[in-house]
A = this chain, B = another copy of it.
Amino acid sequence: MTTDWVERLLGGDELAASKLISLVENKSPQVPEIMRQIHPHTGSAAILGFTGPPGVGKSSLVDQFIYIACAKNLRVGVLAIDASSPYTGGALLGDRIRFGDYSGNDGVYIRSMGTRGHLGGLAQASRGAIRILDALGCDLVLVETVGVGQIELDIVKEVDTVVVVTMPGSGDYVQTMKAGIMEIADVFAVNKSDLPGADLAYSELVRFLHMAHKDSAWLPQVVSTCATKGEGLKELWTAAEAHREFLLQEDRISRRRKEQVKGEIEDLVLCRLKDDFWNIGWHGQRIQEVIDKVYARELDLYSARDEIVAQIVEEIKKI
């Protein structure tokens, strides 16, 4: 059954992509098998991420990139990642309806992903979804995040090229830097270039990058854009392409992707360790007794930790 869907996916069937991404999103027990089967068929798509504070126009830029990619006859997959709370997330995903414009267009597959009540799983699910779109045969996968929290940063680190979108003035510019995304940007778009202060924001950013990257092999390019008017889009595309060229030189892309593989393996191993080992006997009454002791100040947290770890080791030895 899973194998059928995978076969359909590898044949280019978008319905199969939807089905498989849903399984990944729902943490289905079939996920390892799915990933095993599609793994040999991944690795050829270019993965491009868009991140930045809310309201700077990421969605509009992604829209424009879809148009450009379509005009170039590229097959495009789009993942819009929303780490919103499940509490209000559903309703607020409504703004994704804009993507309806493309539905029915053969070359474009679009998917929104939310937390489904488990923030920690979103990074893993989105990695899986990227691989699925890669295996579907997409030439280009665009990953757009809604916010700039840690989850989004983790996700966007999984792409080949990161476009950080910012805008002039309003403090948003500085907030972008605050959120820790400066060092993961390969390309900057200073969007809403029709707003006052756009030139200043552009030149400040360029100056800053020249200082910060004076010893780097890649100097992040900065492009002024106005997505709603379609201005600067070609230049932004060219900048993203230039970064891809850079990655392909000296096989830098393999280093980047191997770093990602390393992080992913570590995550998977830790998750497994957590599920397997932590749960050995450490649930219900037993953990509650430790918590009660800590709360009552009879036991401190670090002694509690050492006690539990020692017992986990003993239990593993009995396996």
Contact = CB atoms under 8 A, between A and B. Distances in A.
Interface of A: 31-32, 35-36, 39-40, 42-43, 54-55, 82-85, 87-89, 92, 115, 119, 146-151, 171, 174-175, 177-183, 212, 254, 257-258, 261-262, 264-266, 268-270, 272-274, 276-278, 287, 290-292, 294-295, 297, 300-306, 308-309, 312-313, 316-317, 319
A120 to B, nearest CB: 9
A273 B278 contact: yes
A156 to B, nearest CB: 13
A157 to B, nearest CB: 12
Contacts of A297: 39-40, 42-43
A277 B273 contact: yes
B84 A291 contact: no
Contact of A258 (B119, B212, B295, B317): B295
Contact of A291 (B119, B262, B302): B262
Contact of A317 (B83, B149, B316): B316
Given A39-B297, A291-B262, A300-B35, A150 B278 contact: no
A268 B178 contact: no
A85 B274 contact: no
Contacts of A212: 87
B300 A178 contact: no
Contacts of A292: 258
Nearest to A87: B183
Contacts of A264: 301
Nearest to A208: B88
Contact of A302 (B55, B88, B175, B268): B268
Contacts of A147: 149, 175, 178-179
Given A54-B171, A85-B179, A179-B85, A257 B301 contact: no
